[in-house]
Amino acid sequence: MVSVGGFDHPVKGHDVLIRAIAQLPSPASLTIVGAGGMRPELQALADQQGVRLSFAGELAGAAAVRQVVAQADLFVLASRSEGMPRALIEAMALGVPAVATRVGGIPELLLASQLVDRDCPAQLAQTMEATLNDRVRYADLSERGIRVARRYAGPLERTRREQFMAAIRGGCEELVHAHG
């Protein structure tokens, strides 16, 4: 398993992910890409729960992060709060199936079968296990992830952002003219 996100604050839910991995019937390891002051707490929790945890740290550039993510069997984002997580989109683009919490923009990216409630390690463990143990589902999620991620490619996102900003500017100009 791999997850990406800093851990200066518990918002990324790494503690929930560690507890979920401890509930899996087969031993699994977790690699966290990122850095933060909660590392000792997370390591202590992993030790207590019997979870093999490694910290990749802050990696130099997107290519290095992609290399770590591409080696994983599953990308997991147990966030308590999120916007539109770029790391999740990158994992999907690499064909790594994902499981994540139903927060922020995540439901726009994943199927309901890949989503779990926040702060629910048992549900997260069950969804991770179901994804890993069903080879057909696993392959389907991998292919779907690649297709969905293409919609968020850099040039497409830039164009959408520019169109959005132009619409806002246009709307503001209309308001100014209307209220003169």
62 band by pLDDT with thresholds 50, 70 and 90: confident
Contact by Cβ (8 Å): 5, 80 = no
Question: What are 119-150's pLDDT values in tens digits?
Answer: 999 999 999 999 999 999 999 999 999 999 99
CB 156 within 8 A of CB 93: no
* Ramachandran category for residue 137: left, alpha or beta (phi over 0 → left; psi -120 to 50 → alpha): alpha
Residue 150: what pLDDT?
Answer: 92
DSSP letter for each residue of 61-99:
SHHHHHHHHHT-S-EEE--SS-SS-HHHHHHHHTT--EE
Residue 117 makes CB contacts below 8 A (sequence gap 6+) with 101, 102, 123
The pLDDT, as a whole number, for residue 29 is 95
Q: What angle do CA 86, 20, 13 make, to 5 degrees?
A: 40
pLDDT band at 172 (very low <50, low <70, confident <90, very high): low
C-beta separation of 93 from 145 below 8 A: yes
Residue identified by tokens 């966290």 is 32
Provide the residue ranges of all domains of the chain, joining segments of one domain with +. 2-152
| Rounded Cα–Cα distance for residues 32 and 37 (Å) | 13
Lowest mean pLDDT among 3-7, 43-47, 172-176: 172-176
pLDDT at res. 152: 87
Look at residue 7 and tell me whether its pLDDT is greater than 90: yes
Q: How many residues does the chain have?
A: 180
Is residue 67's pLDDT more than 80?
A: yes
Q: Hey, what CATH topology would domain 2-152 get?
A: Rossmann fold (3.40.50)
Q: Name the pLDDT band for 61 (thresholds 50, 70, 90).
A: confident
